[in-house]
Structure 1
Amino acid sequence: MTTRRYLHTVTLWTNGKVSVAGGNEYNCWGLLNSAEIYDPSTGVWTRMSNMSLAYYQHTVTLLTNGQVLVVGRYISDGYSFSGHSTSSELYNPLAGIWTKGDNMTVSRIAHTTSVLSNGKVLVIGGTGYNGTFSSAELYS
């Protein structure tokens, strides 16, 4: 990778490439909005366009339409972790850009996501302002 990171996400694309997104470079000052893609056929990492926000303890889901959805994130004020977010972004690999997605109804981090047979994404559990969640929501 070109940027050191931890608690980032890794996504396997249908073309065999692998992307990493977000995470933390070193502490609450180091939350990342960057993403990179690895091509195993060449062994080369290439920077993707930056997300509009930094994502940490989020999920990234490959959608049935080939786009990538990133949801949930820690917020940092630069001195400490100051909250959670309902934000999401979509990456369009054909255009090479991230766009703002619909907000989740509940701000959460450390959750999981799964693509259902109807193409919707089920966002499950996690934690937030009110503790650990047993709830889930559908993202379409």
Structure 2
Amino acid sequence: MTSNMNHSRAVHTASLLSNGKVLITGGYYGNSYLNSADLFDPSTNTWTTTGSMNNARYVHTASVLTNGIVLVTAGSNGGSYLNSAEMYDPSTGTWTTTGSMNHARYSHTASILANGHVLVAGGWDGSSFLNSAELYDSSTSTLTTTGNLYGARREHVASVLPNGKVLVTGGSYEGSYLNSAELYDVSTGLWTTTGNMINARLAHTTSVLTNGDILATGGYFYFSLSTSELY
């Protein structure tokens, strides 16, 4: 057993920092949407509060960049969908805003590429399912658009493959559950379709295995799934 977090929360993010601590950000509790952040120290099994984000958000993403900084993107504050992004510096425990995204979104994915950029793809902006994608460049703190997904989707999953490409699987679109998959090529900035999953699923997980295969497990398709499959 460990001590409890300082704030109850759900639909938050958890990021393993380079110093071994775990950063928890945002989420919601009851009718409140949170900008607070907590740190877990495994050496003492204790939680401490750290600097709060500039914006309350949930269903956002958090990515640990190659320099150890944590990039948080988009999400919702319960009243609006966000295009804002901000960065957490573990050395100071503080947040700073960075370049805004070109599209507000939540239920999207964020993938750290081999070149250090972050690929943000898909999601929902409060009225439309998104097929747009954009790249965050930490050297310039800017987000630029890149090739669109073939299929708009939210609650999908993205995996960075050993060859550097990004595999996006499943999700939902306009009330339909998706079994489609597509690949993003970093060298061209374009997406191509690839083999469909056997089962449509959203809110599932994917794991990159040591042999390069991708294991997709569980998720939701009208009910919770126990199925798994390999790509």
TM-score, structure 1 as length reference: 0.90
AA partner of residue 73 (structure 1): G
Q: How does 1:72-83 map to 2 (within 5 A)?
A: 72-76=170-174, 82-83=175-176
Structure 1 position 136 matched with structure 2 position 228: yes
Q: CA RMSD in A?
A: 0.9
Structure 1 position 34 matched with structure 2 position 126: no
Instruction: Classify the secondary structure of the residue corresponding to 1:127.
Output: coil
AA partner of residue 6 (structure 1): Y
Q: How does 1:13-92 map to 2 (within 5 A)?
A: 13-27=113-127, 30-76=128-174, 82-92=175-185
Structure 1 position 19, deviation (Å): 1.3
Q: Alignment length, in residue pairs? A: 131
Compare relative contact order (CA 8 Å, sep 6+) and give the higher one, 1 or 2: 1
Q: Deviations over 1:58-93 (max 9, x none)?
A: 0011000010100002121xxxxx220110110111
Point out the structure with max Rg over C-alpha: 2
Structure 1 position 14, deviation (Å): 2.1
Q: Which structure 1 residue ranges, 5 or more long, are not aligned?
A: 77-81
Structure 1 position 48, deviation (Å): 0.8
Paired position in structure 2 for 1:94:
187
Paired position in structure 1 for 2:4:
none
Question: What is the aligned-residue identity percentage?
Answer: 45
Partners of 2:145 and 2:114 in 1: CA distance: 19
Partners of 2:148 and 2:173 in 1: CA distance: 17
Paired position in structure 2 for 1:79:
none
TM-score, structure 2 as length reference: 0.55
AA partner of residue 10 (structure 1): A
